[in-house]
Amino acid sequence: MSATAQKPSWLKPSLDWLLVFIPVAFALRYVPAWQNQTALFIVSALAIIPIAGWMGHATEQLAHRMGEGIGGLLNASFGNAAELIIALMALRAGHIEVVKASITGSIIGNLLLVLGVSIFAGGVKYKHQRFNKTAARSSCTALILAAIALVIPTVFHHSAAQHPGGWTPAAEQNLSLAIAIVLIATYGAMLVFSLVTHKQLFVGGEADITAAAATESTEDDDEHAAIWSVRKAVGVLLGATVMVAWVSELLVGAVEAAQHSLGVTEVFVGVIIVAIVGNAAEHSTAVTMALKNKMDLSLGIAVGSSLQIALFVAPVLVFASYAFPHRMNLEFSLPEIAAVVMAAFVTDQIAGDGESNWLEGVQLLALYLILGILFYFLPATH
């Protein structure tokens, strides 16, 4: 026991070990003799993971300082900040397909990969794990609504295109803009519901995610154990945001070269690689909570993050695209919308009874692997 207590904190497994890739990314980008776009893509992806973790920790520290209501709002607003920044960089570079695919990938990745690993890991340790069925049902219903909303522009495109003069890019863009407004309004209503009018339903769930994350960091990392001042939290959040933006620009700049050398499409890069990179820090927290038999928190992180992507990040990207040369709409490919709908439906089925076991985790992971194989073999659209 004393040996464990004396073990230096830097020897403990940590995402911070990946910070070493930041100077490597700098060298691969700016040292002429070292330039290699594929290596830069891989190294930049690894470098973003720990920085995103610091963004999340700084947000949690601010949330802890601000109290439950404002804290919940901060987590709801900045919980997927890294994914949003990566998408904005890709949007600016004109990689619209990568941006759309990263939205799809984040949703199915959180629902199938993160929740699947969490349920499996927790289920191996505990025979049955229980969680708040009411809160889970509420979140899953909102998730299905979001999935349906993302299907509509694609249905419009395929239906209107069959009639002469029925489809125009302008009409599709206006439809996407209108749906984006509805989605973000729905997200606002959900925040009021979960943080104000019915917050008692989420006790042990979303309302406690901040506290649980703080507890986890206290147990696992001496560097993070102390409660930060507001000034330090804001400074770290701003610094990490700048670093994520810079490394994301390197990542996006190397996308085309990497996809050709690795033999994958833009859709696969967005759905699998970018989505996993942007959510990695969050993934580790969800699994840790499941191993501590806190499935309310694990489910809240996975489903809540998917909801935030669908109801907040996607609309914000549509709005932001008006500041760039290429505007983004919400029309996704048929495989993408099928993946989102299937992921939302299966998650709703598993969360409906208020308990989980390791086999359900395997089933979620199996579906994620099947969809990953689909996107790997899916030919490029152009």
Mean pLDDT, residues 279-292: 81
- Residue 115's φ and ψ, nearest 5 degrees, are -65, -35
Per-residue pLDDT at 2: 46
Per-residue pLDDT at 77: 67
Per-residue pLDDT at 361: 93
Mean pLDDT, residues 140-161: 86
One-character DSSP codes across 108-127? HIIIIIIHHHHHHHHHHHSS
Per-residue pLDDT at 134: 79
Going from N- to C-terminal start, the domains of the chain cover 14-377
Per-residue pLDDT at 54: 87
Mean pLDDT, residues 231-260: 88
List the structure tokens of 239.
């610094």
Can you say how many angstroms the Cα of residue 17 is from the centroid of all Cα atoms in its chain?
Answer: 21
**Mean pLDDT, the chain, integer:** 83
CB under 8 Å, gap of 24 or more: what pairs does 314-318 form? 314/103, 314/150, 314/180, 314/183, 315/180, 315/181, 315/183, 315/184, 315/187, 316/84, 316/184, 317/84, 317/87, 317/88, 317/91, 317/99, 317/103, 318/176, 318/177, 318/180
Instruction: Scan for tokens 């760039």, then name that residue.
Output: 324
Sign of the torsion angle spanned by Cα atoms 276, 382, 341, 77 = positive
Per-residue pLDDT at 216: 46
Mean pLDDT, residues 348-364: 89
User: 109 or 215: which carries more pLDDT confidence?
Assistant: 109
Burial (CB count <10 Å: 0-12, 13-18, 19+), residue 127? exposed
Per-residue pLDDT at 169: 81
For the chain, the residue count is: 382
User: 65 or 309: which carries more pLDDT confidence?
Assistant: 309
Residue 10 pLDDT level (bands cut at 50, 70, 90): low
Does 181 score more than 90 pLDDT?
Answer: yes
Per-residue pLDDT at 73: 63
Does 135 score more than 70 pLDDT?
Answer: yes
pLDDT in tens, 118-129: 999 999 988 888
pLDDT in tens, 230-240: 888 889 888 98
Does 354 score more than 80 pLDDT?
Answer: yes
Cα separation, 72 vs 80, whole angstroms:
13
Angle between helices 37-66 and 255-262 (to 10 degrees): 120
Question: In sequence order, which residues have a C-beta less than 8 Å from that of residue 298 and are 6 or more positions away?
Answer: 115, 118, 119, 122, 286, 287, 289, 290
Does 149 score more than 70 pLDDT?
Answer: yes
- Whether the CB-CB separation of 67 and 230 falls below 8 Å is answered with no
Residue 11 pLDDT level (bands cut at 50, 70, 90): low
